Chains A and B, each alone.
Chain A
Amino acid sequence: MSTPRWDDLRIEVIIGALLRTGVILAASVVLFGAVVYVAHHGREVVDYSTFHGEPEALRGVTGIVHGALHMSGRAIIQLGLLLLIATPVARVAFSAVAFALERDYLYVGITLFVLAVLLYSLLGSH
Chain B
Amino acid sequence: MNILEFSALVATGSVLAGFLGALTGLGGGVVVVPMLALLFHVDIRYAIGASLVSVIATSSGAAAAYVREGYSNIRIGMFLETATTVGAIVGAAIAMHVSGNAIAIVFGVALLYSAYLSSRSRVEHGESLPPTKLATKFRLNGTYPTAEGIQSYNVRGVPSGYGLMFGAGVLSGLLGIGSGAIKVLAMDQAMTIPFKVSTTTSNFMIGVTAAASAGLYLKSGYIAPGVAMPVMLGVLAGSLIGARVLVKARVKVLRYVFAAVIVVLGFEMIFSGATGRL
Contact = CB atoms under 8 A, between A and B. Distances in A.
A55 B67 CA distance: 38
A91 B74 CA distance: 11
Interface string A62-74: 0000000000011
Nearest to B53: A81
A74 B222 contact: no
Interface residues of B, dominant DSSP: helix
A48 B208 contact: no
Given A11-B74, A122-B211, A122-B219, 12 more contacts: A12-B68, A19-B60, A23-B60, A30-B232, A38-B4, A48-B43, A49-B41, A92-B81, A107-B75, A110-B78, A114-B81, A114-B82
B82 A77 contact: no
Interface in A32-81: 33-34, 37-38, 41-46, 48-56, 58-60, 73-75, 77-78, 81
A58 B2 contact: no
Contacts of B75: 8, 107
Interface in A6-20: 8-9, 11-13, 15-17, 19-20
A71 B267 CA distance: 43
A78 B72 contact: no
A114 B100 CA distance: 29
B212 A118 contact: yes
B221 A54 contact: yes
B256 interface: no
A81 to B, nearest CB: 5
A interface residue count range (under 10 / 10 to 19 / 20 to 34 / 35 or more) = 35 or more
B73 to A, nearest CB: 8
A27 B236 contact: yes
Nearest to A92: B208
A123 to B, nearest CB: 8
- Residue picked from B2, B57, B67, B138, most chain A C-beta under 10 Å: B67
B112 interface: no
24 contacts: A12-B72, A19-B64, A20-B60, A23-B60, A37-B225, A42-B4, A46-B3, A48-B41, A48-B43, A48-B224, A59-B221, A75-B225, A81-B218, A84-B60, A85-B56, A85-B214, A88-B60, A111-B78, A113-B82, A114-B208, A117-B82, A117-B212, A121-B213, A122-B215
A77 B65 CA distance: 26
B179 to A, nearest CB: 15
Nearest to A113: B82
B232 A59 contact: no
Contact of B46 (A9, A34, A48, A77): A48
